[in-house]
Amino acid sequence: MAPSPYVDDARDIKEDNPFESMMSRFDEAARLLDLDPNLYTIMRWPNREITTYVPVFMDDGHVEVFVGYRVQHSFARGPAKGGIRYSPDVNLDEVRALAAWMTWKCAVVNVPFGGAKGGIICDPHQMSPGELERLTRRFTAELIDFIGPERDVPAPDMNTNEQVMAWMMDTYSMHARHTVTAVVTGKPVDIGGSRGRRDATGRGLLIVSNEAVKKFKLNIPDTRVVIQGSGNVGGTAARLMHEVGYKVTAISDIYGGIVNEKGLDVPAVLKYLGENKTLEGFEGADRITNAEILELECDILMPAATENQITSKNAHKIRCKVLAEGANGPTTANADKILADAGVFVIPDILANAGGVTVSYFEWVQNRMGYFWREDVVNERLADIMVASFNDVVRFAEKHSVNARIASYMLAIDRVGSDVRMRGIYA
């Protein structure tokens, strides 16, 4: 008999390594599902990892070479799907983890994509628009044989935006000799983007938070919300939750946060942030650090900044009823048990922030059919999928007596594994 392929549950993991955190949850979910060992062996590994070295003429005339990655984790359910980030901190393990999370995320919300992720090691804040355009176009050209509407569909992520997607789409189209809008999502609406895409991740967080409020019989006006992050995800979630009556008591940017237990005037906060590029100096609230904001007493805590914010070092200080993960991987695997023991209901990232990929799927569909939907139609269809997915995860958790995070992994692995089994291995 062949030895079991499952990784030892008691192994030590590097807590700050998002790939190891992701794999520890995958391993636990696979064991609980009693996943076929052959399927387990296949699904542990990405389909393809691409490393490319991207030469770029800088504005002063010298050439800089940037390292770029694209990891395509799975094609079992359809084309790979996932964002591209520009950051000095990009590394291959991070991209591997994010690509796998995209596979599980797409499966949880049952859209026909696999997972991918990309990144370039650079500091976009120190680069001119011309340098960023040349970097983006050359990186796209390096990936030209690996991306496409039927292969791999990139999207914006950290420090990339609609303009970057427009450059990618145009570069791909120049090589194809015709316009191919469906090669990326997150584009400007005028060149094939979907209405509602910009707000989609934040709106998805609102939708799953509403479902959690129903589950625990909370009252929206009395529900205190703390949000770490104020970018496209955190800022949008804050605005939308304020609009429907939640009491947003704290929010932060990269420099720190502000808190007012009586509730923040969110439109005023976001206006101030837009004008000053920082929350520092905002009147009507007290300053607080990004570490302290996570430890505030609240009903819903929404980490919407970056990975590894809640760890074994601070998880015991978390004082919320519901943790809705707006960022990818904000909670480490080592923190999960601490939160579970404290009775915190975690809406995991692969469910909570799946609004973005869901509307990206809508954009891809609209591009391929050449017909675009009204924003209210996009939002209605997003709500249908997010509510159904939340309930799927809760039912799976109750059926298997596990927490929502492991239930979401089990649900995703079950769906992907079923498709891998049906497709078989081409040899």
Co-location of 160 and 211 in the same domain: no
Tens digits of residue pLDDT in 294-348: 999 999 999 998 888 999 999 999 999 999 999 989 999 999 999 999 999 999 9
Q: How far apart are CA 9 and CA 294, in angstroms?
A: 29
- 87 lies in a domain? yes
- 370 lies in a domain? no
Q: Which helix (H) or strand (E) holds 213?
A: helix 200-215
Residues 6+ positions from 382 with CB-CB distance below 8 Å: 196, 200, 203, 204, 207, 355, 358, 359, 362
Co-location of 65 and 111 in the same domain: yes
CA angle 45, 46, 51 (to 5 degrees): 130
Q: How far apart are CA 134 and CA 55, in angstroms?
A: 9
Rounded to the nearest angstrom, the gap between the alpha carbon of residue 27 and the centroid of all alpha carbons in its chain is 21
Q: How confident is the model at residue 1 (pLDDT cuts 50, 70, 90)?
A: very low
- 420 lies in a domain? no
Per the structure, the count of domains in the chain is: 2
CATH code at 217?
A: 3.40.50.720
- 424 lies in a domain? no
- Domain end call among 147, 181, 215: 181
Which entry of 81, 105, 117, 321 is annotated as an active-site residue? 117
**Which residues span the domain enclosing 230?**
200-352
Amino acid, res. 91: N
DSSP 229-287: --SHHHHHHHHHHHHTT-EEEEEEETTEEEE-TT---HHHHHHHHHHHSSSTT-TTSEE
- 329 lies in a domain? yes
Sign of the Cα pseudo-torsion (231, 49, 16, 42, in order) = positive
Tens digits of residue pLDDT in 77-136: 999 999 999 999 999 999 999 999 999 999 999 999 999 999 999 999 999 999 999 999
- 365 lies in a domain? no
Grouping H, G, I as helix, E, B as strand and the rest as coil, residue 300 is strand
* 313 assigned to active site: no
Residues 6+ positions from 313 with CB-CB distance below 8 Å: none
Predicted TM-score (pTM) of the model is 0.92
What confidence score (pLDDT) does residue 426 get? 86
- 312 lies in a domain? yes
Co-location of 229 and 330 in the same domain: yes
Co-location of 114 and 254 in the same domain: no
Tens digits of residue pLDDT in 129-180: 999 999 999 999 999 999 999 999 999 998 999 999 999 999 999 999 999 9
Q: Of 336, 317, 338, nearest to 325 (Cα)?
A: 336
- 40 lies in a domain? no
Q: Which helix (H) or strand (E) holds 81?
A: strand 80-87
pLDDT of 18 strictly over 90: no
Q: What is the CA radius of gyration of the chain?
A: 21
pLDDT of 5 strictly over 70: no
Q: How far apart are CA 388 and CA 316, in angstroms?
A: 31
**Phi and psi torsions of 132, nearest 5°:** -65, -40
Co-location of 211 and 335 in the same domain: yes
Q: How far apart are CA 404 and CA 286, in angstroms?
A: 34
**Cβ(303)–Cβ(329) under 8 Å?**
no
